[in-house]
Amino acid sequence: MSAVSKISPQHTRAWWKEAVVYQIYPASFADSNSDGVGDLNGIISKLDYLKDLGVNVLWLSPIYRSPQADMGYDIADYEDIDPRYGTLGDWDNLLKGAHERGMKLMMDLVVNHTSDEHDWFIQSKSSKQNPKRDWYIWRPPRYDENGNRKPPNNWKSIFEGSAWQYDEATDEYYLHLYLDKQPDLNWDNPEVREAVFSLMNFWLSRGCDGFRMDVINLISKVEGLPDVPVTDPTQEYQMASPMYVNGPHVHEYIKEMNLRVLSKYDLITVGEAPFTYTTTGLAAFVLPANLELNMVFQFQVVEIDNSDEGVEGSAPLKYREWQLPELKAIINKWQNLLLDDGFWNAVFIENHDQARSVSRYGDDSPKWRSASAKLIAMMQITQAGTLYVYQGEEIGTKNFAGWPIEEYKDVATQNYYKRVLKERRAEQGKEDVDMSDVLYGCQRKARDHARTPVQWDASPHGGFTDGTPWMRVNDDYKEWNVAVELKDPGSVLAFWKQALSVRKQNDVLIYGDYHLLSPDDEKVFAYTRSLGSSSVLVLLNFGADEVQYSIEEVPQFVGAQLLLGNYEDGTQEHATEKTKLRGWEGKIFIR
């Protein structure tokens, strides 16, 4: 186990707190065998690139054997690698290569649900008497006054439609919060928990260094599975998050996981906790005294542009304009949450479920793309918490533009589009209805923007594959790619390398106290970080217009030295009472 050392009254040092975690979406990272799908050997070929970037931990999105109904988040065998990605031997080689370079490897643990093709579910479905019947959540039908069969309750699947799928052979429904090919496990059954702990030990004994836990806060459902109150009378099925988010036994089960498995290793653990918008709801997973997880992802920053039509999470692809003070308030809340109790943040702005940050929070026009991508990097490297970087973020990858709905691969996007199209055709009584607003939302926010292949160079398909890629490469790959940026000292990639190095050299950026300045300023995001005798002032201009910012709130920073800036000319090496910030300019001063 790690030795415990205090770096401040609130924080103890830990390797996983100081780590830079790089998320790899394997299908889109690098293809070594020309079949158009990224694979483990492709990742191995890029280990030196990742080490040079400043990465400490590689997080792999699911690579287990899977029918790929939801890009591997539907797992048919937890103890084998899907052939599209390679073999267990390839995984062993990847682990060895990472460890030889001083990097660690974490796996994606998806145990709220399995694939309907997993042997557990095949047995469970085979008969009501099967010993694994109770490994999943089965319920008999309901019938209306006319004798029509109905699902057991009115819960809506997160991916549209009912959250229940009927099985004719046994005349019961099974619960699936996501796709019907992703039946939910019954965590109330101790045999299920035992099986999960066993599969975790399989990977840990093989050398895995930690887990990211998919939708881990959904594993415990409300007793009795009652109807959820109707919030959208136009829909037969209702968003049911109150019935399964942070449910009655979730902390009991994760404490058991920690006791039985996690506590026996020196790991990095991070939980994905969607649909949770209260600090207390998330903190309980993280506080050291609770003995659960190292940290969880909170989604308020990446859902700031959601328009939820009255229910949180109901319309993730409907875009809403947001203002900078909203972003400041969210970050300030989490940066200052329960510090005395040891709460620790997971800092991220991109992942496989989020559109590209330069397109959502910055300005991806040719003039401002580079500067705003660098500014977003500065915002992240100056926050307390473990830093997560998503593949392609380090080169300023932007959303693709102008693709028709047929080119979107993601099942969540397709289901949402089909649902709205069906509703509009019914409402308007015609086939040809206007869907431009839905396409606009997809263009801004769809998950597919994160899943286009990495743009390695200017060769066909961005150097991702010699074959036909499973998904089209972003059209700008010839001008915007890793090879070009490696040669350009002013590139987004070069800046990320510098920024990560600055973060690692300054404990104040990882562990320091966070103090927000000018919370209502609609153009400049300003804050300080302080740890012992070291203090940092961060000034970020979130817009194309030049602004003057007065540091009268923190006069002690007059004369402070410039630590990092995203303009190459190096003007203003020291802070002054009034600081000029050009379009999308960021400056970090240290004293």
Q: Residue 548: phi, psi to the nearest 5?
A: -110, 130
* C-beta of residue 488 within 8 angstroms of C-beta of residue 511: no
- Label residue 433 exposed, middle or buried (CB < 10 Å: 0-12, 13-18, 19+): middle
CB 251 within 8 A of CB 257: no
Kindly calculate the radius of gyration of the chain based on its CA atoms and give it in whole angstroms. 24
Strand 20-24 to 386-390 pairing: parallel
Phi, psi of 37 (to 5 degrees): -125, 135
The amino acid occupying position 247 is: G
Residue 358, Cβ neighbours under 10 Å: how many?
Answer: 28
Rounded to the nearest 5°, which phi and psi values hold at 177? Answer: -65, -25
Question: What tokens appear for 34 in the block?
Answer: 């020309």
Q: How many Å from the N-terminal Cα to the C-terminal Cα in the chain?
A: 35
Amino acid at 572: Q
Say whether 191 is catalytic: no
Cα dihedral: 271, 272, 273, 274 (round 10) = 180
Asked if residue 14 lies in contact with residue 268, where contact means CB atoms within 8 angstroms, the answer is no
Q: Indicate the DSSP class of residue 227.
A: P
Residue 428 CB burial class (10 angstroms; 0-12, 13-18, ≥19): exposed
Give the active site residue among 272, 305, 350, 585: 272
For residues 337 and 343, the answer to whether their CB atoms sit within 8 Å is yes
Q: How far apart are CA 375 and CA 205, in angstroms?
A: 41
- Active site annotation includes 214: yes
Q: Which run of H or of E encompasses 324?
A: helix 324-335
Distances (CA, A) of 179 to 22, 183, 361, 391, 505: 27, 8, 30, 26, 45
Q: What are phi and psi of 19, to 5 degrees?
A: -75, 150
DSSP 241-302: GGGTTT-TTHHHHHHHHHHHTGGGS--EEEEE-TT--SHHHHHHHH-GGG-S-SEEE--TTT
Dist. CA 322–CA 316, nearest whole Å? 14
User: Which residues pair with residue 561 across a beta bridge?
Assistant: 574, 590
Q: What's the burial of 387, exposed, middle or buried (CB within 10 Å: 0-12/13-18/19+)? A: buried
- Does residue 155 contact residue 243 with C-beta atoms inside 8 Å? yes
At residue 35, the 3 state secondary structure works out as coil
Residue 9 structure tokens? 């009254």
Given the residues 31, 90, 172, 214, select the one marked as catalytic: 214
Which residue numbers are catalytic?
214, 272
